[in-house]
Amino acid sequence: MDMLKRAMESDLYWSFRQSPVAMASAAVALSLILASIFAPLIAPYNPFDPASLNLMNGFSSPMEPNQFTQDVFWFGSDDQGRDVLSTILYGMRISLFVGFAAVLFAMIIGVVLGLISAYVGGRTDAFIMRIADIQLTFPSILVAMLIFGIAKGFTPVHLRDQMAIWVLIVSIGLSDWVQFARVVRGAALVEKKKEYVEAATLVGRGPVAVIFLHILPNVLSPVLVIATISLALAIIAEATLSFLGVGAPPTEPSLGTLIRIGQGFLFSGEWWILFFPSVTLLLLALSVNLLGDWLRDALNPKLDD
């Protein structure tokens, strides 16, 4: 109760209530996330259970009873009679899972390297930051693609489809750590000079404890902002890779894979197979992005760019 009361009275909550954009995007993002978590309960069909598929249901238009089976699909069905709504719900799960996991991975690498860089300084700092600078000159989607290609090559052939999701997470994560490292380093350099850090060192705390127990909690708010914006970017990166056919395998289609499949029906008039996954991806990326923008303004951390 106490926590809740404090949260309700915080500046952050006040600024949230003041911003209709933030509230709307939070509502959209939250309902999409909940819908994908509870996909097995909400989805009208299980698109990956061959027993529930009926080829007669193929290419049903949205909201219209199928001409053979009279089944109604809200968002229509694809060539194999799969319910588009269900594939979107399951696909969004994979998109969000990859997005969250990739950001978490990037965050851990970036925060740890950023803290070490700031605390140790000297050659270590110069080395880490040089790597970061070099990586920044390449667009992150290109880095993700290259890492994906290399990592795919290293995976044994029979494991490639099973491992694809994890390879995807690692490549997107590795392409995105630089932002975290730079921001954490900047914030930690400021914190390092403060008296509480000196005090902690004086009472005999070791460097690891000082870094992670004392400095880390004080640099978290910019990390939160970067993480939110990175989530939107990671979702788009995953969708892009999967769309290009170098991401999620066909057995576990993400939103990007669904758009790739839907593009094939663009000319034959089955617009819903392409339209609904695209709109879902847009809503997801846009709402998370707007939320990140709001969070940046509300917390107002000093970001590099």
Pick between residue 98 and residue 274 the one whose CB is nearest to another protein.
274
Pick between residue 122 and residue 153 the one whose CB is nearest to another protein.
153
- Rounded to 5°, the CA angle 287-33-173 comes to 80
CB of 261 to another protein, least distance (A): 12
CB of 232 to another protein, least distance (A): 9
Contact 60, 117 (CB under 8 A): no
Contact 287, 29 (CB under 8 A): yes
Number of CB atoms found within 10 A of residue 249's CB: 17
Pick between residue 157 and residue 208 the one whose CB is nearest to another protein.
157
Pick between residue 207 and residue 250 the one whose CB is nearest to another protein.
250
List the beta bridge partners of residue 83.
77
Pick between residue 153 and residue 204 the one whose CB is nearest to another protein.
153
Pick between residue 66 and residue 254 the one whose CB is nearest to another protein.
254
Q: What is the DSSP string of 139-192?
A: -HHHHHHHHHHHHHHHS-GGGHHHHHHHHHHHHHHHTSHHHHHHHHHHHHHHHH
CB of 33 to another protein, least distance (A): 19
List C-alpha distances in Å: 107 to 137, 143, 168, 184, 247: 20, 17, 16, 10, 21
CB of 249 to another protein, least distance (A): 11
Task: Give φ, ψ of 162 to 5 degrees.
Answer: -65, -40
CB of 149 to another protein, least distance (A): 4
Helix axes 84-120, 220-244, angle to 10 degrees: 130
CB of 197 to another protein, least distance (A): 30
Pick between residue 210 and residue 281 the one whose CB is nearest to another protein.
281
Q: Is 119 exposed, middle or buried (0-12, 13-18, 19+ CB in 10 A)?
A: buried
CB of 111 to another protein, least distance (A): 24
Binding site for another protein (CB under 8 A): 134, 137-139, 141-142, 145-146, 148-150, 152-154, 156-157, 236, 239-240, 243-246, 259, 263, 266-267, 274, 278, 281-282, 285-286, 289
Task: Give φ, ψ of 83 to 5 degrees.
Answer: -70, 120
